[in-house]
Amino acid sequence: MACRTGCPTPGKHKTWGECARSANLKVAYCGIGGGDATEQKRWDAELDLYRAARRQGIQPDGTTKDKVMAAIESSNAAGAAYGRDFGAAPPAPEGVEAA
């Protein structure tokens, strides 16, 4: 069972990454970097991204965009939740192909 805790459709997703992508992670992801975002909006977006990551079980090293993005990308690459399932050095689980 690769689904995240709290997945609305457990068993539907083959990998943790697929499960995470099916959730709203990508929506929050896209909210970052809008060219006309004010500082406040950017800050809100960072926190939203951080919260979205935490909902997936990811525990970034900090709330800044760089740290959250790094944690999310590491999690997607590893198919596991950064900070919960592994630390700074991602594991190389079976079945995960290099990009």
Interaction of residue 25 with Zn ion, rule CB under 5 A: no
- Tell me which of 17, 19, 25, 57 binds Zn ion, using CB under 5 A: 19
> Which region, judged by CB under 5 A, interacts with Zn ion, from 17-25, 59-67, 71-79, 81-89?
17-25
Look-up: residue for tokens 């997945």?
Answer: 7
Interaction of residue 20 with Zn ion, rule CB under 5 A: no
Interaction of residue 49 with Zn ion, rule CB under 5 A: no
Residue nearer to Zn ion on the CB measure, 12 or 41 = 12
**CB of 13: closest distance to Zn ion in angstroms?**
4
| # residues contacting Zn ion (CB under 5 A) | 4
Look-up: residue for tokens 């800044």?
Answer: 64
Interaction of residue 65 with Zn ion, rule CB under 5 A: no
**Using CA atoms, how far apart are residues 36 and 91, in angstroms rounded to an integer?**
38
The residues that touch Zn ion, with contacts defined as CB under 5 A, are 3, 7, 13, 19
